[in-house]
A = this chain, B = another copy of it.
Amino acid sequence: MSTATSTQWHLVRRPVGEPTPDDVARVEATLDELGPDEVRVANAFLSVDPYMRGRMDDKPSYVPPFRLDEAMTGAAVGHVVESTSDALPVGTMVTHQYGWRDVAQGPAARFTAVEELDGVSLSAYLGVLGLTGLTAYTGLVRIAEMKEGDAVFVSGAAGAVGSMVGQIARLRGASRVIGSAGSAEKIALLTDRYGFDAAFDYHDGDIRGQLKAAAPDGIDVYFDNVGGEHLSAALHRLKRFGRIAVCGAISAYNSTGEPEGITGMTNVVRNSLRIEGFTMGDHWDLGADFQAEMRPWLENGDVVFDETILDGVDNAFDAFTRMMRGENVGKMVVRVTEPS
């Protein structure tokens, strides 16, 4: 492995609007020999997530921008193939942030050993047991302070985070769980597989009217993955003391102009509503509580999860853009072909 290489994705230009293949480059990098207390990891799965779009812009945000002409980063899981670390010997399964590449390398302290669970794909660590699941849990439990008996609405409900929000809400005693998604197939998935009580297709338009029909008695909590018209609709539907956890605004991420204005904000006073944005960097402390609650649900089959898997590190950028267009069901991951 002394002349090992890594196929990596670099950002070469700041995207304007939707990222295009010209904004990135696939680069073959030669890896240095390991220094002391380092590991080399053959990635099994790479994560692509909406927040990465923000990192492609050169503006202040909750995570620093990607630098141009360097490998992009993100969550990944794999096994150690070479090691100078006693803590992480060859063969250890690890999660880490050196994604967007097939082979990762760095200080052992940057990698976290994980257990492989029986019958659960390693990719779960990028989703239901990773950032995705913890994001759903944080927004619902800490930010929106969901209580038993609450009616909960989540947008982008067939997505990785959304499908977890709906299931956690149900398992924590929601009186009604309502989801929106972007196709008839996804809508069916919400009610048939994830246990939502009601679901609607936002491509059918009149989001406000559809939400009213799905939640005739109003909602207590809105988990917002989308922003825009969904947020306006929720503001009109929230009951007194309703809470909105704002996790994302995917409708605006690729927007080049000023996003459409939000209506219904006068309800914030009228109904004593709370709207709160959050990003996971401030909530890692919830991880232990989350794992303690989520593992039994997974073991008991109370929580199901889906993945859309694209094969090959060469398809990582394609996976990202497809995820941004909403073509995934559940967590979008890239399965890395075993390096030769």
Contact = CB atoms under 8 A, between A and B. Distances in A.
B282 A269 contact: no
A266 B61 contact: no
B279 A272 contact: yes
Contacts of A265: 227, 231, 246, 249, 259, 262
A276 B269 CA distance: 8
B282 A277 contact: no
A275 interface: yes
A5 to B, nearest CB: 37
Interface in A229-281: 231-232, 240, 246-249, 252, 258-263, 265-279
Interface string A95-126: 00000000000000000000000000000000
Nearest to A253: B266
Contacts of A268: 246, 249, 275-277
A119 to B, nearest CB: 35
A62 interface: yes
Contacts of A267: 277
Contact of A259 (B249, B258, B263, B269): B263
Contact of A271 (B62, B252, B270): B62
B277 A271 contact: yes
5 contacts: A232-B261, A246-B265, A247-B269, A271-B277, A272-B277
Given A62-B271, A62-B272, A261-B262, 5 more contacts: A227-B265, A227-B266, A231-B265, A272-B276, A272-B277
3 tightest Cβ-Cβ pairs between the two chains A and B: A261-B261, A268-B277, A269-B277
Interface of A: 54, 61-62, 227, 231-232, 240, 246-249, 252, 258-263, 265-279, 282
